[in-house]
Every structure is written in C-alpha cells, then in structure tokens.
Structure 1
C-alpha cells in the first residue's frame, strides 16, 4: 500500500463560531489517515471561546500561529 501523507492548513477569524472550529478540527483528526501536519493560523485576535477550543486541541495540533 502506498503511504499517504498530507498536511492541513486552516485559518480562523474572530467572527467564526467556536463550535464550527471544534467540528472542523475534530473532523480532520478523525480521518482514516490522519494529517502529518496540522497548522492553524489565527487571523488577528480571537475571542475567548475560540481560544478555548485551540487550547483544548493544542495537544493534537502543534502549530498554531497567532
């Protein structure tokens, strides 16, 4: 079987709903083949709810750029 590697690059903006960010991250991490790299770029300052989601997921995602 051919090894499949891919990376995920996601941006998050302060007006996005925290539940959608949570669902997006969970969806990517639960794929049959998990991503080799997962990068989230924060587009400006985020609200408390979005920051809480990123804090909870920080164990699974090594690269969060603010």
Structure 2
C-alpha cells in the first residue's frame, strides 16, 4: 500500500474526504517526524514505536518496533 492508497483507506474508514484524510495523514506523519527528530519515542498502542537510534560508528537511524496487535495480525 502506498501513501495515496493509505489516504484513500483513511478517508473511507473515517468517512471524510480524501482532502481531509490527506491533512490527517500529513499531521500524523509530521508529528511523528518532529518528535523523533527531538529524540522522543512515539508509541502508538497496538501499532508500534518509532524512535531514533544513536550509533556512534554510523549515522543515526530511525527504528520501528511493531506492537503486540500488529505482530499478532501477522500470524
């Protein structure tokens, strides 16, 4: 699923326009990006956690650890 498909799915699930869903998507991704850039972990219950990892030998990286609900849905 790409971004456009995800925005369409959000619009359908939330009963909003695609434009409204795009604004929601942008707000969510922007908020996650800003928080991780400030070295804050972002945890969405059931989905997972985004966080910056500091690696002295390489550049910093962002990791995503899947939450319990997401992991359970894969089986």
TM-score band, normalised by shorter chain: 0.3 to 0.5
Instruction: Return the structure number with greater strand share.
Output: 1
TM-score (norm 1): 0.35
* Structure with greater Cα Rg: 2
TM-score (norm 2): 0.32
